[in-house]
Structure 1
Amino acid sequence: MIRNHFKIAWRNLWKNKTVSVIHIIGLVTGMTCCLLMILYIQHELSYDKFQEKGDRIVRVIMEYGRDGDDVRKGNFTGTKVLSAFKNNFPEVENGVRMYKENTVVRTGDVVFEEDRFLYADSAFFDIFSSFPLLKGTSKKVLDAPHKVVLSATTARKYFGRADPVGQTIQVGADQTDYLVAGVAADCPSNSQIKFDLLASFSSRQAARTEETYWSANYTTYLLLNDRKAIASLQPKISPFMKREMAADEDNDGSYLTYELEPYTRVHLYSPYDGFEPNSNIQYLYISGCVALLILVIACFTYINLSTARSLERAREVGIRKVVGAYRQQVFWQFISESALLTSFALLLSIGLTLLLLPAFNSLTGKSLLFSDMLRPGILVSMLGILLCISFLAGSYPAFVLSGFKSVKVLKGSFHRSTSGHWLKGSLTVFQFGISAFLIIATLVMQSQLHYIRNKELGYDREHVLVFPLDGKITQKMDLIRKKLKQNPNVLAVSRAAELPTQIKGGYSMWTGTMTPEQSLMSFGNPIDEEYLEACGLQLIAGQGLSEQDMRDASYEDADKNYYHFILNQSAAAALGWTPEEAIGKKVNFNYRNGEVKGVIKDFHFASMHTSIKPLVLFPDTWGSNLIVKTSGHDLSGTISFLKDSWGKIITHRPFDYRFMDEAFDNLYASEMRMGKILGIFSTITILLACLGLFGLSAYTIKQRTREIGIRKVLGAPVTGIVRLLSVRFIKLVLLAFLIASPLAWWAMNSWLHDFVYRIDIQWWMFAITALAAVVIALVTVSFQSVRAAMLNPVKTLKTE
């Protein structure tokens, strides 16, 4: 019986090739979107779940400020947190401090630029025990200064097939010898901690000096003795830190405390990035829901097209019933047809997923593999999709067709015995409602991203190149600046700790009339004399830094240093000054004595999710970034000149740069990724909705064939008939728009509230959506309507 069902199903599908192809296109599109999103969501949800002790690991978040003042929080800590918590809280079993940097590594005569170089305490492989060591002992590989563990890929890159353990590599500008003590397996792609080289934390100067809660440049993870211990530990931290701050003679009145984040929730739920940008659980839900809706729309398209063909299948059903077929047999016949079509579509979807996976990885920034589809969870999902679609897409047509009254069908009165028009209309409203929602959401999201990209940020980010900076390069800064500026397209060369795209350093500042306890919390950035010009920052009062200002702040005897500060408008206002009044005022900036020399216009030195805060730029001799501003003319020739000049002056580090635009874009990576996904899914949804509308219009026009013929005989013009057939569908589309609009407004208004600087949702976004929906519906329906209106009424009435 089953074999017979599938044989007949195949013959019907083959006989109606056009409709079958439309069915397959819709289902393949929906299932491919769903499979890609299942792979992506499964990968995101699996982040860090592979860690055996992951449910007992927490990340420490630092919170500091003043009572009633601006509160700062972030995934950074000082060096003292680990030892203080281990010694005072029995819930803490162990911990590890980590630090990431971009550095150079030399092996023999070959130099590599490494941006995944991590430092960690010796307990790293005990806490993160699921990072397997291929060579070396977990308790010894990081137990002394200048020891390093290589990833398997890095070991092959440096030493080929030779055993790297016991070999020496040179790290950093000073080419410090590091002993290769072990080799670890490559970090999984679903890990927030990824390293190519892992060095002992004791190698850093901070590990050899007095521990402090401040100088918070490190990430601290704690291993608790029980996964539920976070509930008992968290309430103890604030009272403990109050006592610690009260006993700290250097504390200027700031309060300091810490929050604990469960390690396995950091990637999707934390607002603070780790060693790589986090994802957002809300965006994950949205992506999954949209992919599921696309699949549902594909099923509705199948239902509409199958029902549209019901007139063609009516006589077949009638004859089957006359010769003795039961309703359930007819029902299963059509379910078999749906299952066969869905199975074929699923196979095509798997192949299409394989082809699209590289492009999808580029879109999402992930490294998903096709082999991930062989995981039990994915296979069960595919089986579930197959069964659900087979019954969801095939059940309603099967119920309708199996319920035909054979007597009425064979008498030719089937069209008067059918029902369910409301359901078909509802399906169309649902399809176009989802399409309208996604169009509005895409317009709002793209408008906000356009606003972000084009808003006056207060600094220049175009045609600005950024190079990693180290001590050796800093020593040659004057020579580098002189050499690079020989090219007329190089406008400025600067050294700074942080780029203007994102400044994180927190400091305190007070005037002569204030005590340290009354100090203003502000952000700060060490710069040199060309920083303002290199970044395009606008002075509104006073002057920028000079070479003499740099010398005044760089004496070997720190007590002789005198600083000239550049404040932004917000910092001057917070101290009660206008920009002009601030010039020459004496200030103390984290125990750096000096005066205000200039005030710059406020600029966005953080993402637009937050408001502009007080900021101080101050002279210093160190930095992490070399900033080169170019005119933008002959950019390729300018870069070639920079490369040649770099090779002549700097021999210890390869020529490696990025544009400041990239650093800016990284602030909004999740939003941009979501915007692209929504744009693609909106287009797919519209196409599938058109297929559904095509099916419904075909069904309706077939039902009204005699009416059309009679109207033509009585003199109705083609335009009148087209208008008659199109009005109902336009009403359905407009109804869908009216339902979707308030939902889209609410959803996107909620999304925009995450930005301090944002657009207003405009009326034209809804007008464009309504117009687009109506035009798309008209184009889709007109094809069927014009074709029906042009038929010869004599042949139509004769057939009827």
Structure 2
Amino acid sequence: MINNTLKIALRHLWRNRLFTTLNVFGLCISISACWIIYRIIGYEFSYDAQLPNKEHIYKVISSFVSEDKTSKMGGVAAPLYQGIQEEITGLEHVVPVFFQGINRAETQRNGEKFTLEDPQHVAATNNQYFQMLPYNWLAGDKVTALTDPKSVVLTERRAKEYFPNAKPEDMLHQTITYYGRDTVQRTVTGIVSDFNKPSEFIAEEMIALPGKVYESYMWTNTNGGDRLYLQFKKDANVIAKLKQINELDKRHWKAFADERGSELKKTKSYELLPIQEVHFATDVSDYGISKTSKPVMFGLVGIGVFLLILACINYINTSVAQMPQRGKEIGVRKTLGSSKWHLMNQFLVETLLTTFIASILAFAFGKIGFSILKELIPTGVTFSGEPHVFPLFVCIIIILITCLAGLYPSWLITRVKTVEVFKNSFTVIRSGSRFSLQQALIIFQFAIAMVFIICTIIVGAQLRHTLKADMGFNKEAIVLIDIPWKYLGDARYSNKQFTLFSELRKQPGIKSVALGIPPLSSGYSSSPFQTAVDGKDLNMIKMFKKNIDTAYLRLYQMQLVAGRNILPSDTISEFVINEAAVKAFGFPSPKEALGKMINQLGNTKHAIVGVVKDFHTQDFYTSIEPLVMMSDKSSLSTLNIKLDTENTDQWQATLKAIEHQWRNFYPPEGFRYTFYDETIEAMYKQERQIAKLINLAMAITLFISCLGLFGLVTLTAFQRTKEIGIRKVLGATAMGIVTMLSKDFIKLVVIALIVASPVAWWAMNKWLENFVYKINIEWWMFVVAAASAITIALLTVSWQAIRAALVNPVDSLRNE
């Protein structure tokens, strides 16, 4: 019985090779896409899932409020951990993780020296770090590893860089010399295994955090590299503890204000973020930490589900389209006594075989897709994972698709009346006004496709707006070269950036050169500044800071609305502010701001000599903030080079000449250049990835939808064969027949547009809310989407419609 069912199923699939191919191809693409999405989602949601007490671990983040705007940062004030340890109860562990900058590190073993330049992920912490995290210790004792202030614990990966071919126990008590602002020797007291799972904790060298007494002003400072983690006891009231932390911080702010004899408005508070939410906190600025958007992840899940449903809908439509051709087979089966369960079983087996073949091909398609989409797939995501995962995934998918796609066609077969079959009156969809399930499924398919088309148009328009809009400065043909900070702190290269700057100004092909932080960048520095307005109390605001030289404003073509540029100086002597700072300080106008004295906390006062027109200093998610520009020679470390735009064909030669000049002052391996417009584009990497995902989803959805539409038009043409023959005998033209068959399907596409438009409008409005500077959703975007979908639908329908219209009416009527 089973063999007979399989043989019939295979014969049917082979006899209808076109529909079998379409079904297999549609299911294959959907299954492979679902697998890739599953791997991405599984990876992203596994961040810090291995922590034993993750539900009680929180990261402390800083929240800044300025003019009803809130920004968040993953760093804290350095002394906060000490205050919490001394005053806050209910905590299991208080774990500071302060990342350190190191120029280079050296080790010696058996007379051989190993050097690591600019080692990354070096963190100062305490012993509680190892009690909170589930490290596997290869050597050393986690309880006492960081007791000595000159101790260091290495991960296995980093230890192999310092001590190649050595065993973990042999690495203990070895010495590492660190070169930076100070030269420090540390003793290796532990070796731990690498974290094999995605984690917020990326440190590879853990050094002892020295106990120190912080000055009172440090409570008002925030460093993005100083991070703090708290593990609460199981019965602790986290909300109450957070309130105590903020009260503690408020007392220290007040103490500092009293010490200075001025009123200091507190603009910062602390929040507690569950450790498993840190990876998804895209609103929190965390340098060097991988983040992803949870709504984007849920969107990916939605895309996977929709693709699977669309493939099932496509299978249903093509299966139903073939039923009239199988009418006699069904009639004979029922006449010979086949039960409805036997008929349903036959169709379910065919669905199972089709899905099984599609799943085998999906493995190859998935491999190809994985390599094509490698730029969109997070680093660390592998295609196959553990050996048993893919087979289990395929089994679940096969069962799911077989049930979703096979049950309706198989149930429809049981409703066929044998008498109608042999009288040639068997139909699945009847002519007339009755709205069929197949038509509803086509509307659903194209509604989803329409949503993706509209989203593609709007996302693309917003990305073009962010990259092409007036940013308040000219970014074209500018090359950036950063002097690595390890050279800045090395006496051998002291002040050589200024000599290099002078040499580059003489170089042919270079229009101008300036030193300073680029206008718009992902990194920033801010501090409280204060002034007195009209003799009233001190007015204090938080301002972003940029160090520039005298050529900076001219190179970026920034407009001065009042005053002048800063004058050459080795140290800070005067300020240029932007229009936003004028408003924040309360000056009546830019001209009124000139000559006013402002100062950064703890520094001397300097005069405002110029006001520059507002320009974007951060991405389009944030508004233009108050900004102060100054000249601090010791902080000028980025070369901004404007190339000659009239001789673009000479740019490569100019860049080689720049590299040659670099080699005269710095080691060749430190030379890196980027075009500034590319740097700005890179800041919108996530948005471009979203756009690519939507484009890909749109293409797959349209393809599968067209397969479903092809199946439905095939069914309609078959059922209306006699009508088409009669119309042609009575004088109907081929174009008239094509129009008759096409118009009903175009109506379905129009209905899909009506359904999809409000959904896409709502989704895109929610997405655009994240941008302070954004486009407006225009009517033409929906018109373009409608025109695109209708054109694609017409191309799909026309082929089968033209084929039906060109059939000889004599053959049509004779066959009927």
TM-score by length of 1: 0.91
Deviation at 1:209, TM superposition (A): 5.1
> Does 1:305 find its partner at 2:318?
yes
Deviation at 1:86, TM superposition (A): 1.4
Out of 770, 788, 791, the position equivalent to 1:772 is 788
Which residue of structure 2 aligns with residue 588 of structure 1?
A: 599
For 1:720, give the aligned amino acid.
G
Which residue of structure 1 aligns with residue 421 of structure 2?
A: 409
- 1:553-586 per-residue CA deviation (whole Å, 9 max, x = no partner) reads 3xxxxxxxxx201101111233314223322222
Tell me, yes or no, if the aligned pair for 2:580 and 2:625 is still in contact at 8 Å. yes
Which range is displaced more, 648-657 or 270-279? 648-657
After superposition, residues 14-53 of structure 1 pair within 5 angstroms as: 14-53=14-53
Deviation at 1:749, TM superposition (A): 1.4
Greater than 6 Å deviation, 4+ residue runs: 108-111, 416-420
Out of 355, 360, 367, the position equivalent to 1:342 is 355
* 1-structure distance, mates of 2:593, 2:388: 64
* 1-structure distance, mates of 2:284, 2:407: 48
Which residue of structure 2 aligns with residue 557 of structure 1?
A: none
Tell me, yes or no, if the aligned pair for 1:448 and 1:759 is still in contact at 8 Å. yes
* 1-structure distance, mates of 2:512, 2:197: 39
- 1:448-506 per-residue CA deviation (whole Å, 9 max, x = no partner) reads 01100111112344532242333235532322322333423445555546763245323
> Does 1:425 find its partner at 2:420?
no
After superposition, residues 489-504 of structure 1 pair within 5 angstroms as: 489-491=509-511, 493-496=513-516, 500-502=520-522, 504=524
Which residue of structure 2 aligns with residue 713 of structure 1?
A: 729
> Does 1:485 find its partner at 2:496?
no
Tell me, yes or no, if the aligned pair for 2:479 and 2:642 is still in contact at 8 Å. yes
Deviation at 1:379, TM superposition (A): 5.6
Tell me, yes or no, if the aligned pair for 2:104 and 2:115 is still in contact at 8 Å. yes
* 1-structure distance, mates of 2:605, 2:32: 63
* 2-structure distance, mates of 1:536, 1:344: 62
Which residue of structure 1 aligns with residue 240 of structure 2?
A: 232
Which residue of structure 2 aligns with residue 216 of structure 1?
A: 222
Which residue of structure 2 aligns with residue 507 of structure 1?
A: 527
After superposition, residues 26-105 of structure 1 pair within 5 angstroms as: 26-64=26-64, 73-100=72-99, 104-105=103-104
After superposition, residues 687-698 of structure 1 pair within 5 angstroms as: 687-698=703-714
Deviation at 1:8, TM superposition (A): 2.0
* 2-structure distance, mates of 1:611, 1:297: 41
Tell me, yes or no, if the aligned pair for 1:234 and 1:259 is still in contact at 8 Å. yes
Note closer, same or farther for the CA distance 1:172–1:433 as it changes in structure 2 (3 Å cut): same
After superposition, residues 709-748 of structure 1 pair within 5 angstroms as: 709-748=725-764
* 2-structure distance, mates of 1:311, 1:243: 82
* 2-structure distance, mates of 1:370, 1:31: 14
> Does 1:451 find its partner at 2:465?
yes
For 2:133, give the aligned amino acid.
S
TM-score by length of 2: 0.89
3-state SS, counterpart of residue 94 of structure 2: strand
- 1:81-127 per-residue CA deviation (whole Å, 9 max, x = no partner) reads 10101111112232233344665435588765547323231236425
Note closer, same or farther for the CA distance 1:460–1:137 as it changes in structure 2 (3 Å cut): farther
Tell me, yes or no, if the aligned pair for 1:300 and 1:393 is still in contact at 8 Å. yes
Which residue of structure 2 aligns with residue 399 of structure 1?
A: 411
Note closer, same or farther for the CA distance 1:511–1:416 as it changes in structure 2 (3 Å cut): closer
Tell me, yes or no, if the aligned pair for 1:465 and 1:657 is still in contact at 8 Å. yes
Note closer, same or farther for the CA distance 1:269–1:135 as it changes in structure 2 (3 Å cut): same
* 1-structure distance, mates of 2:565, 2:189: 49
After superposition, residues 606-621 of structure 1 pair within 5 angstroms as: 606-621=618-633
* 1-structure distance, mates of 2:10, 2:207: 63
* 2-structure distance, mates of 1:516, 1:497: 33
Deviation at 1:748, TM superposition (A): 0.8
Which residue of structure 1 aligns with residue 660 of structure 2?
A: 644
Which range is displaced more, 85-94 or 135-144? 135-144
Which residue of structure 2 aligns with residue 384 of structure 1?
A: 396
Which residue of structure 2 aligns with residue 160 of structure 1?
A: 164
Note closer, same or farther for the CA distance 1:295–1:607 as it changes in structure 2 (3 Å cut): same
Which range is displaced more, 143-152 or 522-531? 143-152
Deviation at 1:157, TM superposition (A): 4.2
- 1:262-306 per-residue CA deviation (whole Å, 9 max, x = no partner) reads 111111145104332421111111121122111111111111111
3-state SS, counterpart of residue 518 of structure 1: strand
Deviation at 1:74, TM superposition (A): 2.0
Out of 557, 563, 586, the position equivalent to 1:542 is 563
* 2-structure distance, mates of 1:53, 1:665: 39
> Does 1:120 find its partner at 2:124?
yes
Which range is displaced more, 717-726 or 499-508? 499-508
In structure 2, list runs of 5 or more residues that go unmatched: 108-112
Using the aligned pairs only, state the percent identity: 30
Which residue of structure 1 aligns with residue 544 of structure 2?
A: 523
Deviation at 1:356, TM superposition (A): 2.2
After superposition, residues 166-185 of structure 1 pair within 5 angstroms as: 166-172=174-180, 177-185=185-193
Deviation at 1:146, TM superposition (A): 5.6
Which range is displaced more, 662-671 or 10-19? 662-671
For 1:321, give the aligned amino acid.
K
Note closer, same or farther for the CA distance 1:453–1:136 as it changes in structure 2 (3 Å cut): farther
3-state SS, counterpart of residue 372 of structure 1: coil
Which residue of structure 2 aligns with residue 435 of structure 1?
A: 449
For 2:799, give the aligned amino acid.
F
Which residue of structure 2 aligns with residue 288 of structure 1?
A: 301
Which range is displaced more, 516-525 or 757-766? 516-525
Note closer, same or farther for the CA distance 1:425–1:546 as it changes in structure 2 (3 Å cut): same
3-state SS, counterpart of residue 628 of structure 2: strand
Which range is displaced more, 763-772 or 471-480? 471-480
Tell me, yes or no, if the aligned pair for 1:95 and 1:127 is still in contact at 8 Å. no
Which range is displaced more, 412-421 or 607-616? 412-421
* 2-structure distance, mates of 1:659, 1:497: 14
> Does 1:567 find its partner at 2:587?
no
Which range is displaced more, 633-642 or 735-744? 633-642
For 2:809, give the aligned amino acid.
P
3-state SS, counterpart of residue 318 of structure 1: helix
In structure 1, list runs of 5 or more residues that go unmatched: 554-562
3-state SS, counterpart of residue 432 of structure 1: helix
* 2-structure distance, mates of 1:112, 1:656: 19
